[in-house]
Structure 1
Amino acid sequence: MSLLKEIILQIFFALIPFVAFNIYYRDKIRNYSQTFILLTSSLCLFLAMTFASNVVDGVIFDIRYVIMFFGLVYGGVQTGIILLVEFVIYRLYLGGEGMPVAMIILACTFSLSLLFYKLYKANYRRTFVTFLAGIAFSVIPLVLTYSFFPNDVKEHLAYHLIVIPMQNSLGTWLLLTLFGKSVADKEMFIRHAQNEKIETMSHVAASLAHEVRNPLTAVKGFLKLIQEDHKHLPKLEQYINICLGEVQRTELILSEYLSISKPLTARHEVINFSEQLYVIREVMSPYANMHNVELEVHAPDSPVPVLANPDEIKQVLVNFIKNAVEACSEVSDAKVILRLSSEEDRVVLKIKDNGIGMTESQMKRLGSIYFSTKSNGTGLGLTYSYQVIHAMGGTVTVASKPGAGTKFTLIFPEAEQVG
């Protein structure tokens, strides 16, 4: 049992770089650094030598050769030399009659480690090189220790034939194999993250182009109305103001979608939700007309106060209305109805369409990034909308059946007053 404890302790020290790597680099989009290898290897070497095993006073055994080989492979020659210096200084400090032979063993194993390092880096059968290094780190200490202390080796033959080979060969194989796999997995993760980032940029670009069409369509529709009805000055001024507002909102759409993954802005104020709905109806009516969809809004005449960012809530309403319009654009007598009500301390907005509807599995995935029921959709619009609603303390529920339309219910906390 004592021999097993010695092996387990040294193997534990050998795996410190592997464990530290998986903890420190778990959520980072980068791989290990030379500094990381040097620090963890130095710590591991110090602990292994401090709590080394021995059966004869002054003669100690640990996994120093494993650590120095690991430092060479992943930290380079410079790291290996620093570990070599650390060992020499600390071994001189520890002293004992085994110090001279320890220096000779180190000279032999470090020279071989340089050779194994070159073979390993050349991708020359790395598993075989790792196995060969473990055998060398087991045989060389045994042979040289026997040359200097034959009687001690014979007296503790089981220790020298089991403990030392086990901790060196098993330690080398475990550390190099496990750390190598973790590094390979991290490289795969980094490549996937980079590819995902590129794909995200393309999706955002496509979504931006799609979303920006809404205000541009509205501007185009009102400009046509101005062209047809330019003699009515009151309406002309109203149409121009709406067009200017939509141009400004286009800029806001760009900034909102570019920052969709960032925390939502904390700027909130009390707004009249009822008034916002009628404004949005004016904005989205040309878009609905283009798709032959009737857009209805039913809201109380009295103010319905909610605490929100006006730009965010406007974009949310545009997203829901646009999706509803597109969902029923191929249906005869297509209609989208927005119904706002105030119930106790809650504001409830129901958005209903008589479009194509959704299945249960589709409804469960709504709001997930890049999920869309449309073949050319990105899902970013609803993802953003869900984030805004939840940030306001609101909720979203959906009821739908294929071919029977969809009804979204948006519930917000009611504010105390309208500013």
Structure 2
Amino acid sequence: MDLYTKNLIISFLSVMFPLFVWQLFYLLHYNYQFKWVKRWMFAIFPILSIILCMTFPIALLQPLLLDFRRIPLILGTLYGGYKVGFVLLAVMFSTRYLMGGDVFYLSSIILILTTICASLLSNYYLKKSLKQKVLINSVLILISLIIGSFLINKPETFTMKIGIEHWFINVIGMVIATLLTEIILINFDLLHKSMKAKKLDVASQLAASFSHEIGNPLTATKGFIQLLSDEKISIETRNQYLKIAAQELDHAINIIDDYLTFANPAPKNRDKIPIFESIQRGIEVLTPVAEEHNVKINISLLKNNNCFVLGERKKFEQCLIYIVKNRIESMPNGGEINITLDCNRTSNINITIQDKGIGMTQRQIDQLGEPFFTTKENGTGLGMMVAFSVIKGIGGKIEVESLQEKGTTFYINLPVGQGDRHLDPIV
């Protein structure tokens, strides 16, 4: 491979590489929601291309520098407008001035005229089809190259053969760069539309689920209130109806709280939550459910009155109840659940909840905590969604490991609050 071919490949990669970096940044922006990735960053990558192209030219034929610098200049101006165009022009002038050369001013005039033409065509260009865009870019770069070649022509260094080869290579490079830019922009647009559609779908599902969940207790309450209008019913029956109606209203309020927790997981009041007592409370609530499913709950806790996190105790206990209840229901034929608490002397509280149930696939694990995802036939996924939101709201995280037919383990990691720790083992 001769030197000219090597320089050609390097210079061509100087144009293409920033385009791939641009796409990478935008994919990171959409996937991880990086706030600092903005659309104006489009200007950074033509700048990088220009500097690389001028640093690694195809051929150095004094006073000519044969390279691909016009490709990022024209593309950046057509897609970004005149502001981006003149920023790129300033970068090009600065780089060219530092590199030196006796045709600096003449080449500058040609590049200025090229940038002005591209700026004037920018709005018109963006409305055109792909074929028309490729044609406009090719004609624009070809005219700029031809005028530049003949105005700065020195017969001893520049031949028609070199000129035609250089023009042809630039046009091919411009076509490829235009196609790649359009593909990247189409991908960005599709990603944006996909995310917007997903948000609308989640909103519609939330609305449907909310109306269904809250409709049941309200319908029941309405029914019992209507029964109270019957004067023939006894006082005892009337009081019983009132009690049930009040319970159903409480149920509706709890559903609303659960949805609000998902929307805003950060706790309203940051009180001290004693972890040991909260786990004990959750187990007491679920004992009848565990006995009904023939499930034994084994606990291995270290009594620690000063082991706590900051948050809302009621929500945290409900979160534990959701998780343990799901573990109980994952063992239809009975089994054991092991719960351990490790409040160490560093900055973490670790709660482990392990069952010997049916387990989950990796895909199911990845979907845990998402709205409406559940492995139960009659479930809504609301409980686990709230559980993940609550733990996240107090600064913790949940990790899950599972093997089908082997069981599932939940690892809950929480930030420990301040206080001395005096550990008394419980047997």
Would the TM-score normalized by the shorter structure come out above 0.5? yes
For residues 118 and 73 of structure 2, the distance between their equivalents in structure 1, rounded to whole angstroms, comes to 8
The aligned counterpart of 2:49 is: 44
The aligned counterpart of 1:152 is: 156
Of residues 274, 278, 283 in structure 2, which corresponds to 1:277?
283
The aligned counterpart of 1:161 is: 164
Q: Retained in 2: the 8 A contact 1:398–1:408? A: yes
Of residues 53, 64, 67 in structure 1, which corresponds to 2:69?
64
For residues 44 and 27 of structure 1, the distance between their equivalents in structure 2, rounded to whole angstroms, comes to 21
The answer as to 2:314 corresponding to 1:314 is: no
Cα offset, 1:158, TM superposition: 4.7
Cα offset, 1:63, TM superposition: 2.4
Once the two structures are superposed, residues 205-252 of structure 1 have per-residue CA deviations (whole angstroms, 9 ceiling, x without a partner) of: 4445566689989999xx99x955979xxxx9xx99999997885565
For residues 64 and 315 of structure 2, the distance between their equivalents in structure 1, rounded to whole angstroms, comes to 75
Structure 2 residue ranges without an equivalent (≥5): 229-234, 343-350, 414-421
Q: Retained in 1: the 8 A contact 2:361–2:402? A: no
The aligned counterpart of 1:5 is: 6
For residues 10 and 380 of structure 1, the distance between their equivalents in structure 2, rounded to whole angstroms, comes to 56
For residues 362 and 34 of structure 1, the distance between their equivalents in structure 2, rounded to whole angstroms, comes to 33
Cα offset, 1:56, TM superposition: 2.9
For residues 71 and 179 of structure 2, the distance between their equivalents in structure 1, rounded to whole angstroms, comes to 12
Of residues 129, 132, 147 in structure 1, which corresponds to 2:133?
129
For residues 155 and 130 of structure 2, the distance between their equivalents in structure 1, rounded to whole angstroms, comes to 37
Cα offset, 1:172, TM superposition: 1.7
Cα offset, 1:65, TM superposition: 2.0
Aligned residues: 381
Once the two structures are superposed, residues 173-216 of structure 1 have per-residue CA deviations (whole angstroms, 9 ceiling, x without a partner) of: 23222122112111111111122122223333444556668998
TM-score under structure 2 length normalisation:
0.63
More divergent stretch after superposition (360-369 vs 251-260):
360-369
For residues 294 and 380 of structure 2, the distance between their equivalents in structure 1, rounded to whole angstroms, comes to 27
Q: Retained in 2: the 8 A contact 1:6–1:163? A: no
Look up the SS of the partner of 1:152 in the other structure: coil
For residues 410 and 77 of structure 1, the distance between their equivalents in structure 2, rounded to whole angstroms, comes to 56
The structure-2 alpha-carbon separation of the partners of 1:99 and 1:348, relative to structure 1 and needing over 3 Å to count, comes to closer
For residues 366 and 91 of structure 1, the distance between their equivalents in structure 2, rounded to whole angstroms, comes to 54
Once the two structures are superposed, residues 31-52 of structure 1 have per-residue CA deviations (whole angstroms, 9 ceiling, x without a partner) of: 9756323333334334433444
Identity %: 16
Cα offset, 1:374, TM superposition: 6.1
One-letter amino acid of the structure 1 residue matched with residue 75 of structure 2 = F
The structure-2 alpha-carbon separation of the partners of 1:171 and 1:210, relative to structure 1 and needing over 3 Å to count, comes to same
TM-score under structure 1 length normalisation:
0.64
Cα offset, 1:122, TM superposition: 2.4
Look up the SS of the partner of 1:15 in the other structure: helix
Cα offset, 1:312, TM superposition: 3.2
Cα offset, 1:314, TM superposition: 2.7
Q: Retained in 2: the 8 A contact 1:38–1:71? A: yes
Structure 1 residue ranges without an equivalent (≥5): 286-293, 329-334, 401-405
For residues 276 and 299 of structure 1, the distance between their equivalents in structure 2, rounded to whole angstroms, comes to 11
The structure-2 alpha-carbon separation of the partners of 1:349 and 1:389, relative to structure 1 and needing over 3 Å to count, comes to farther
RMSD over aligned Cα, in angstroms? 5.7
